[in-house]
């Protein structure tokens, strides 16, 4: 059966894995603290809720994507939608000039506290703020619906906007509003970078063949989710629906889309699919 999921087993495995991971993170943090081996802009592993992989290497990789694909300049004003614990902000501290600026917001209070203390205090052109937005997976106590949230910035305030691994955790109504807000705050002629899990002929075939560790067994028109009881855990979108959503908001996708390895592709730029769009 295509896109099948074993939600109960996945949740149980995630619970056990979470305990093991937490213990491992605490021990690793203690070792790094004792040896002084952790970089000053790298948070303790127990706070790294933004996914697996090498924290510094992923940040460095995305900085390269920002420059080579997003046309990011050193003096640009940058918005990080869902800044987490500063994985993308950290390498930007060495790239942006004093004339450039960075703003980031996130819905996880611990991430904003860490970034404000360890990055914002040292780099005055870097600003972080909390968005009290509800997300069943990351911030269930949030008071504002993502579908109604207005980014706290003026129209056309930024030269470059990015959202890495954000729309992979948002349902259509919420994602659509965030995409509209990205278009609103982005200056004309400039670019945004957004990552997705995109469903197209190739990725569906690989999913059907069992090439991916991910399964998307639920959903509706234009999207699929991995877990019916907690759909925001992982969300994939039909590529055609994303192209249409961008077009309706005045964002033109810059082809080619840089497809990721998440579905089992042997050759890819990153794990998730990277979409570059320009505001007309």
For residue 50, what pLDDT band results from cuts at 50, 70 and 90?
low
**Which CATH number goes with the domain that contains 86?**
3.40.50.150
* Helix runs in the chain, H state only: 7-35, 55-68, 89-95, 109-115, 172-185, 201-208, 239-248
**Burial (0-12, 13-18, 19+ Cβ within 10 Å), 217:** middle
Tens digits of per-residue pLDDT, 121-149?
A: 999 999 999 999 998 878 889 999 999 99
Residue 119 is assigned to a structural domain of this protein: yes
Packing angle, helices 172-185 and 239-248, rounded to 10:
40
Question: Is 1 a member of any domain?
Answer: no
In a domain, 241, yes or no: yes
Instruction: Assess if residue 74 is contained within a domain.
Output: yes
Q: Is residue 63 part of a domain?
A: yes
What is the spatial distance between Cα 23 and Cα 72, in angstroms, rounded to a whole number?
Answer: 39
Q: How far is CA 163 from CA 8, 169, 204, 221, in A?
A: 30, 11, 24, 23
- Residue 147 token pair: 């579908």
Per-residue pLDDT band at 21 (split at 50, 70, 90): very low
Q: Which residues pair with 237 in a beta bridge?
A: 198, 223
pLDDT digits (tens, 9 = 90+) for 182-237: 999 999 999 999 999 999 999 999 999 999 999 999 989 999 999 999 999 999 99
> Is 3 in contact with 215 (CB distance < 8 Å)?
yes
- Which residue range is the domain that position 133 belongs to? 7-279
The domain total for the chain is 1
């Amino acid at each position: 059966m295509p896109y099948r999921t074993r939600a109960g087993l996945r949740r149980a495995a995630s619970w056990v894995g979470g305990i093991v991971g937490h213990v491992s993170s605490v021990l690793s943090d203690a070792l790094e603290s004792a040896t002084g081996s952790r970089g000053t802009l790298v948070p303790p592993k127990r706070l790294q809720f933004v996914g697996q992989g090498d924290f510094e290497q992923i940040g460095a990789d995305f900085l390269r994507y920002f420059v080579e694909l997003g046309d990011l300049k050193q003096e640009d004003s940058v918005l990080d939608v869902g800044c987490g614990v500063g994985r993308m902000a950290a390498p930007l501290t060495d790239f942006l000039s004093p004339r450039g600026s960075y703003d980031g917001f996130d819905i996880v209070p611990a991430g904003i506290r860490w970034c404000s203390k360890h990055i914002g205090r040292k780099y005055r052109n870097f600003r972080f703020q909390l968005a009290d937005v509800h997300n069943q997976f990351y911030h269930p106590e949030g008071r504002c619906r993502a579908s109604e949230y207005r980014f706290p910035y003026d129209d056309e305030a930024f030269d470059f906007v990015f959202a890495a691994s954000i729309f992979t955790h948002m349902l259509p109504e919420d994602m659509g509003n965030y995409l509209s807000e990205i278009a609103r705050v982005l200056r004309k002629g400039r670019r945004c970078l957004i990552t997705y899990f995109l469903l197209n002929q190739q990725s569906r075939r690989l999913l059907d063949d069992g090439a991916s560790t991910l399964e998307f067994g639920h959903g509706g028109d234009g999207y699929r989710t991995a877990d019916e009881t907690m759909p925001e855990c992982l969300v994939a979108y039909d590529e055609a629906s994303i192209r249409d959503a961008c077009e309706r908001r005045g964002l033109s996708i810059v082809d080619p889309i840089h497809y990721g390895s998440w579905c089992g592709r042997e050759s890819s730029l990153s794990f998730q699919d990277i979409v570059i769009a320009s505001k007309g």
